[in-house]
Structures are given as C-alpha cells and as structure tokens.
C-alpha cells in the first residue's frame, strides 16, 4: 500500500526504526523501508555487517549515510548474518531505487523468530505508525 508517498508492501514485517524483514524459511532478508530511504535522501554510502556475526534483535548491524547524515541500521530479529548485499558497496543508490528488492541489506538465519515477531509490525500497523510519525 501507499501512505503519504511511501510504499509499504504486504507480507513484510517492520521495525520502529524503519527496517523490514521478509521471511524465507530458516532465514530472513533484511532491508530498510521506503520511508527510511526517503528521509535520508541521496544515500551515498552503506556499511554492511560482517558475514558470520551473531546479532541480538535491534542491535546495530550497519550504517547508511546520506550527504548530510549518518543513520544506523538495526537488525529487526536476532540471528547469524549469512550473506550481505555486496552490490551496495559500489552502488548505494540501489537502496534508494529499490529498497524492497535489489536494495536488500543482509540475510539473517533467525534464532527466535516467532517470539520476536511480536515486536514487529505488519503492513497495516506500520502504515499507521508512519502516519503518526509524519504528523
């Protein structure tokens, strides 16, 4: 769905820090939302987590930088980073162009998904959250 110019796809789960996850069996794909990339504007640099690192839910997994600001990326769920999107290093603009597809950040093997999903929002809830943030 579309809220105030921001795209929010169905089927993903969202964090309050504007990351999304897509569940794929034993792992999830993590990225930042359209709202996050539009707020940052002109992303020029992405720092990815190291493959193999084990992170707790909402721990810092990387950073995204625009010309003016630095913003941290938090992992929406706990687990082990099994793969990162190396394309972002040379083409950080993929995050702005395709935040939900080619601009994905990492694949994380989840350890406590079911419980941790309670701390995340679905599309409707996130849309409501964005409306509130935008007020």
Q: Considering only CA atoms, which of 94, 86, 78, 80 is closest in space to residue 32?
A: 94
Residues 95, 88 contacting (CB under 8 angstroms): yes
CB of 56 to other proteins, least distance (A): 17
Considering the complex, state which of residue 86 and residue 125 has its C-beta at the smaller distance from other proteins. 86
Contacting residue, 9, 16, 65, 109, with other proteins by CB under 8 A: 65
- Residues in contact with other proteins, counted by CB under 8 A, come to a total of 10
DSSP letters of 90-108? H-TTHHHH-TTTTT--EEE
* Interaction between residue 44 and other proteins (CB under 8 A): yes
Among the residue ranges 6-14, 43-51, 107-115, 123-131, the one whose residues contact other proteins (CB under 8 A):
43-51
Q: Considering only CA atoms, which of 37, 76, 81 is closest in space to residue 59?
A: 76
Contacting residue, 5, 68, 114, 132, with other proteins by CB under 8 A: 68
For 25, list phi and psi in degrees, rounded to 5: 65, -120
Neighbours of 7 (CB within 10 A): 13
- Pattern 74-113, other proteins, x by CB under 8 A: ----------------------------------------
Residues in contact with other proteins by the rule CB under 8 A: 41-42, 44-45, 47, 63, 65, 67-68, 70
């Amino acid at each position: 769905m579309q809220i105030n110019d921001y795209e929010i796809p169905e089927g993903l789960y969202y964090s309050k820090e504007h990351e999304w996850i897509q569940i794929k069996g034993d792992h999830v794909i993590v990225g930042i939302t359209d709202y996050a990339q539009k707020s940052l504007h002109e992303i020029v640099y992405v720092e990815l987590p190291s493959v193999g690192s084990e992170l707790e839910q909402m721990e810092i997994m990387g950073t995204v930088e625009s010309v003016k600001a630095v913003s941290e990326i938090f992992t929406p769920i706990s687990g082990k980073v099994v793969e990162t999107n190396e394309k972002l290093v040379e083409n950080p603009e993929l995050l702005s162009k395709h935040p939900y597809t080619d601009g994905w950040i990492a694949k994380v093997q989840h350890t406590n998904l079911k419980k941790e999903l309670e701390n995340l929002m679905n599309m409707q809830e996130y849309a409501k959250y964005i409306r509130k943030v935008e007020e």
